[in-house]
Amino acid sequence: MNSTATTPTPAAEKAGRFGGWFRRASSSIDALPMHLPVRLGNAGMTQTKAAPVRVLGFDQALVWVTVALLAWGLVMVYSASIALSDSPRFARAGYTPTYFLTRHGASLAIAMVAGLLAFQVPMKTWERGAPWLFVVSLLLLVAVLIPHIGINVNGARRWLPLGFMRFQPSELAKLAMVLYAASYMVRKMEIKERFFRAVLPMGVAVVVVGMLVMAEPDMGAFMVIAVIAMGILFLGGVNARMFFVIAALVVVAFGTIVATSPWRRERIFAYLDPWSEEHALGKGYQLSHSLIAIGRGEVFGVGLGGSVEKLHWLPEAHTDFLLAVIGEEFGLVGVLLAIGLFLWLTRRIMHIGRQAIALDRVFSGLVAQGVGIWIGFQTFINMGVNLGALPTKGLTLPLMSFGGSAILMNVVALAVVLRIDYENRVLMRGGRV
């Protein structure tokens, strides 16, 4: 048997020589230390270390700012509510000085567990479930209006009894609107230039939610929900002319609501002149005492626990007017710190949304930006009311004011934003979500 020997061609020999050279060079490079010499001016040779960059799985700064706001809110709720047990209204019910602190702490614990669970849910699951969550929120908004089911407090029917807490469906409706509006814009992306096919169905959904929320009544929640929907429509690429038409219709609608409601008109007049004899002891009472509290704080405040206005002068100091107590006890410095933290938080959330859209994850990006609009707008309204820049409106300060439902839904919304950021980082590392 003749064996056939293959004679290497000149090209193969050349490739073999170069291949061996490359292998030897590669081995030599691998053997070099992880330092590169760099000449800096006349300082001689300096070495830079090529250490690997550790990419974290979540935004630590966002987490710590959120925790700081929650912790500060817990302290301020205790400070603002510690004297309420001396009031005849609460004393008859057997409230202790730590009643609101205990309930707020329990709400934080429940919110943390819910946030950890929400973080585990992939954004694809949130997208599929968005319409169903919206339907559930509508059913709960209907249930709260049914006698003997919804809880009536001071003429407002806004809560459902859950045993361990009172749940406010309008807070769930805010998160449901964020998710539903984002999924809607993704589904209608191809026809977003056509008003009746793209915008009108979303407008009907907002009107339905608005009618149910206004029946409670809760105009503040309706304003937040309407702004969330409008913001996501605008960021989703709806024609600018359509957007301004919608904005004009919303302004007209709110103007009509105020004009046809005598007690809402009184709030506007009280806001314009809170110090008059007519309003100081009426609709302008909260605003005037909020301004007194902030004025007493001056620059550095009277010290933690030293507020006088919380001693039965300023109603709802632990909920709607918590910023006034912050202003009195921590002064201008405390107010500016709170504004700065919320400004950074909102800006960071919007940045995560833009990053998701840049990675072609439109739904996730719109959800994050919708949460940013929600927290930013509600914070703006609450702070504006406390500082006398806006008429009195029953909106809490996100993450800080007393309120189990609000804290729960705020933390869940931020957990969803952290999930979006986590998936962004996985994709940027070349992984799959």
pLDDT tens digits, 160-219 = 888 778 889 999 999 999 999 999 988 876 655 666 666 778 888 888 998 999 888 888
Q: Of 366, 377, 381, whose CA–CA distance to 323 is shortest?
A: 381
pLDDT above 60 for 51: no
What's the alpha-carbon Rg for the chain, to the nearest Å? 29
Stretch among 31-45, 234-248, 381-395 having the lowest mean pLDDT: 31-45
d(CA 171, CA 178): 11
pLDDT above 60 for 21: no
Q: Identify the pLDDT of residue 181.
A: 93
Q: Residue 110, exposed/middle/buried by CB under 10 A (0-12, 13-18, 19+)?
A: middle
pLDDT above 60 for 373: yes
**Mean of the pLDDT values across residues 323-339?**
96
Could you tell me the pLDDT band of residue 346, with boundaries at 50, 70 and 90?
very high
As a whole number, the mean pLDDT across the chain is: 83
In 3-state terms, the chain is what percent helix, strand and coil (to 5)?
65, 5, 30
Cis preceding-peptide flag for 274 (omega within 30 of 0) = no
pLDDT above 80 for 374: yes
Contacts of 95 (CB under 8 A, 6+ apart): 84, 85
pLDDT above 50 for 50: no
Could you tell me the pLDDT band of residue 280, with boundaries at 50, 70 and 90?
confident
DSSP annotation string for 116-144: HHHHTS-HHHHHHHHHHHHHHHHHHHHHT
Alpha helices in 260-307 (DSSP H): 262-272, 277-280, 285-297
Identify the residue with better confidence: 49 or 403.
403
Q: How far is CA 376 from CA 39, 226, 326, in A?
A: 48, 14, 19
